[in-house]
Chains A and B, each alone.
Chain A
């Protein structure tokens, strides 16, 4: 599965559709995405500022598509993605850009996989930290079947494995066992608390402190 996305020219992401009966093209309200200007007191004089909606952040965290854990992997592994949402935006390893934004506003901000084999230049962030950001992202997603969480992560884990030093077991890297077992429950973006319940199928197989066990109430 990961090979399919890796070798595709570009991935098309239907971000807003909640089932395949809904399309890619949204009837968009032009006001919604437009930058807005406001005046603000700054130091000792008033200045005009321009604010932009962070579509990339909103869609990649809260859209119907990206709430699904399976899809996170598809986005990370594809070399390029066209995100179809209220305001379409483009993502590749070199830039994230949106029609409503000044050009390259996000240039190189989201370096997910700095892997030389993929031809992506190494970023200043160590791979271990990139991995943690990805895990945090997965922990916030809803996966219809809980047992799918590890599988949904497996393609990405495979790509990271040459860089993490040691074996990979159920969401944990041998080289980082201590650090990765230290986590705390944080309030979910929607306001609910994450539940630390462990589904029966995992008892005895996955260490109880594993991040993968977090479920969203």
Chain B
């Protein structure tokens, strides 16, 4: 992780051509907030307006995940479970790939990640 983390730092500081302008402060409709909680380790599903409200309407950085979906069924966002997911999704209930991606996000001190197959 040290190597990847250093590469990210280098890119952010030394590569102006890698910065994508976001004058409209666009962020995805939903994100996962990976900030560790005090209780059972959870992550929260959070809506765009809540994120922007918390960050003074400036788009905070987020990571994305590319992965092979596979055939396994895991839970996805539906009308019925959205409140539950807003309150918290226990990390240990998520597939290993997502757990690792969330760990990477935390280690890089980024707060948000977007995972397409969750919603």
Interface residues of A, Cβ cutoff 8 Å to B: 1, 3-14, 17-25, 64-65, 68, 71, 74-75, 78-82, 84, 88, 90, 92-94, 97, 99, 118-121
CB distance from B95 to the nearest CB of A (A): 4
- Contact of A21 with B17 in the complex, beta carbons under 8 Å: no
CA separation between A94 and B7, bound complex, in Å?
11
Partner of A21, one of B11, B16, B22, B70: B70
- Min Cβ gap A34→B in Å is 15
Chain B residues 92 to 106 lying within 8 A of chain A, measured CB to CB, are 95-101, 104-105
With contact pairs A11-B63, A12-B65 given, residues A20 and B74 touching in the complex (Cβ less than 8 Å): yes
* Residues of B close to A64: CB separation below 8 A: 68
Contact partner of B65 (CB less than 8 A), chosen from A11, A25, A88, is A11
Interface set, chain B 7-25, CB cutoff 8 A to A? 7-8, 11, 15-22
| Partner-A contacts on B (CB < 8 A) | 3-4, 7-8, 11, 15-22, 26-28, 59, 61-72, 74, 95-101, 104-105, 108, 110, 113-114, 116-117
List the B side residues contacting A3 at CB < 8 Å: 26
Residue from A18, A88, A94 in contact with B15 in the complex, judged by beta carbons closer than 8 Å: A94
Q: A4-B114, A9-B63, A97-B7 known; 13 other A-B pairs, CB under 8 Å?
A: A7-B22, A8-B62, A12-B101, A14-B97, A14-B100, A20-B70, A21-B72, A23-B97, A23-B99, A24-B97, A74-B66, A82-B8, A90-B3
